[in-house]
Structure 1
Amino acid sequence: MEKLNLQKTAFVMIDLQKGIALRQGLAPYSSQEVLEKNEQIAQKLANTDATIVCVHVKNYGPEALHPQTDNRPIQSEHVPEDFSDFILPLATDPQIKNVIHVKKHNWGAFFGTDLDVQLRRRGIDTILLSGIATTIGVDTTAREAYQLGYQVITIEDAMTDFNGQLHQDIVEHIFKRLGKVWTSDQVIASLN
C-alpha cells in the first residue's frame, strides 16, 4: 500500500453536519456508516502532521443562490439553528490541534472560500475526500481540487448520496479520472 506523506495531506470532509448527515434514505451507505468511517480516519490523523478540514455549508438565507432551474428548489424557511454544526466530536475538541473549518455557500469547498489558501500555506498537495453528498458537494470539490492541481483521493465508503446508483456512477466514471479511489481501510493502511 502506498504511504501518504502526512505533511502534504489534508483530509477534507464535506458537509458532515446535522442538517445533512442525519437525513434518512442515503445510499449506498447510511449516514451512520459514513460517519463511522470518517471518525476512524479522523482519529488516526488527529494531532499528526496532516490537516483535517471540516467543511460546513450554509447556503440558505440571504446568501442563498436563486437559480432558475427545472427542479423545484429545496425549501429552507425552517432551517434549524444547528443545521451547520459538524457532527464528528473532533470538530470541536480543543485537544486536537490540526483541525480547520471552512464555511462554504456553494456546492464545492473551494469556490468562494479560503480553502485553497489554507492548504497551500500548509504545503498540502494531496486531498483525501469524503462526505455527503457524493454527487453534489464531494463531486464538485473533487473537480475543483483537480483543476487546482491537487492529487485527489476519494474515499468511496466514507461518502454517500441521495441516490445509490448516481454514487456508483460518479465513483466509477468521474472520480477514477480525477485521481484515485480508495476505501477507508486502504486510507488507514496507508497511515500505518
Structure 2
Amino acid sequence: MWNPEVFFQAAEIHRSAGSDRRAAELLALSVADPVTPLEAPLAADGQRATLVISDEQLAAARTTMYERVTAALLDEHVNLDARLRAATGEETTLRETVRGRIVLVVQALRPDFVRDEALSLLDVNSERLHAAGVRTLLIAQQPAPAILERSGFDSRFHQDVGDQAWAGLRAWREVQYFVLDRSGKLRHRGEDPEAALRISFVLSM
C-alpha cells in the first residue's frame, strides 16, 4: 500500500534523528504521490521547512512509486459487451465507455453504499483525471437515486443491465473499484478508491 502519511511520519523520525538526507528521500515519496499531492506539514519546532528535496530524489521517488504500483497490476480479460443503462434510459456497453481510454469503474450494489469521502476524492481529482485521459464510470445494480451535486465529474450512476458488468468484472463486494486499461483489460480490482486512482494515474503516464 502506498501511504503518503506514513512517509511523512517516517521522514519526521529521521529528521529528528539528524538524518536530513533520508528524511528528504522519504518526504519525496509522499510528494510524488499522484492522488493527493501533499504539502509537508511543519514539525512542532518548524524545522521540517528546512528540508530540501532534490530533483534527483523526486525522480527516484516517482520511479519507486511507478514500480511499486505497476508490480501488482492484473491482466484479466473482461466482457466488454456488458450492457449499461444510463440515467437517461439510453443503453451503452463497457466497450463504448473504454474506446481507447483508461476507465476507473466504481461498482456498487446501490449508489448510496459509496462513501461520501470516496466521491469527494473523485471530485477533487476530476480535473486531473480528465487531463490524463481517464474516464470515471459509476455502476450500480439498482436504479440510481437523484443526481448527486458534484462540481467536477458526472456522479450519475449507470444501471448494470442483468448484472452483466458485475459478472464480467468478477465483483463480490457491495462497493469495489476497478481500472480498465486502454485495451479494455482489467488491471485492478479492490476496495480502496485511492489505490484505484493511483493506478489510473500511473497507467496514464
TM above 0.5: no
Higher relative contact order (CA 8 A, sep 6+): 1
Larger radius of gyration, structure 1 or 2?
A: 2
Structure 1-normalised TM-score? 0.35
Structure 2-normalised TM-score? 0.34
More helix by share: 2
